[in-house]
Amino acid sequence: MTEPMAVLLETDAVVAVDKPPGLTVVPAPTEPGDSLRHRVERALGCPLWVVHRLDRDASGVVLFARSADAHRALCLAFEHRLVEKSYVALTAGVPDPPEGVIAVPLHAARRGKTRPAAPGEAGAQEATTGYEVVERWHRDGHRAALVSARPRTGRHHQLRVHFRSIGTPLLFDRVYGRRVDLAPLDGIPCQRLALHASRLVVPATVLGTRIDVHAPMAADLQAAIGWLANTWSRD
């Protein structure tokens, strides 16, 4: 069961909601049941167009279009990298340097996954992510960090693959972080992908009015940060 969603912004052109973890944005082909889009459509009593997605276990801002025209304009804005997206995440290990840009081309992999592309590999897609370490902790030789990330491209699983590529996978990533020793985290009040879409900004040139939507830190991630601060040592 997922947490209830909150509407963050509603206009004639768009609606933005705070997606709870554990819910897909659209129904998966193998799971045709409930989805975030279905819930918002039922709540508003109108059809919606999907502009972008978050992973099932991630939380935070999701923007829907309320008309075909708005959908077309927003999709072009995402495609041309006009939309600013900000995330917060918890990582296993601390990214080094503490502030930088991950520029690792990505390639589609089997079973809907993504992997770093080999040098010169055909089909590779440019992918860049800016990041900054906000807080860091250590305990018994293990380290963890709270990071802020701003993807400059929008590739499938980009943040998850990029942070793993530098040796600091996201906590509780069951696909890309399976080798992380979770024993030191026994008792932490968050067992899902530690990724939250905190902010989304669309410039006024796209729909005529600037859109700037914030989603407060999800309660389980906030609790996890408090747990680390209380049970681990701050670097």
State the number of CA atoms in the 13 A half-sphere of 99 facing the CB: 3
H-helix or E-strand spanning residue 107? strand 106-108
Q: Decide: 125 and 117 in contact? Cβ < 8 Å.
A: yes
User: Any idea which residue has 């039922």 for tokens?
Assistant: 42
d(CA 34, CA 18): 16
| 55 is known as an active-site residue | yes
Tokens of 26: 């659209």
Q: Decide: 96 and 147 in contact? Cβ < 8 Å.
A: no
Q: Decide: 140 and 155 in contact? Cβ < 8 Å.
A: no
DSSP 8-state assignment for residue 205:
H
Catalytic residue chosen out of the listed positions 12, 18, 34, 55: 55
H-helix or E-strand spanning residue 41? helix 36-44
Distance between alpha carbon 208 and the CA centroid of its chain, in Å?
A: 26
**Listed residue (120, 87, 126, 130) closest to 104, CA to CA:** 126
Q: What is the CA radius of gyration of the chain?
A: 18
**Mind telling me the catalytic residues?**
55
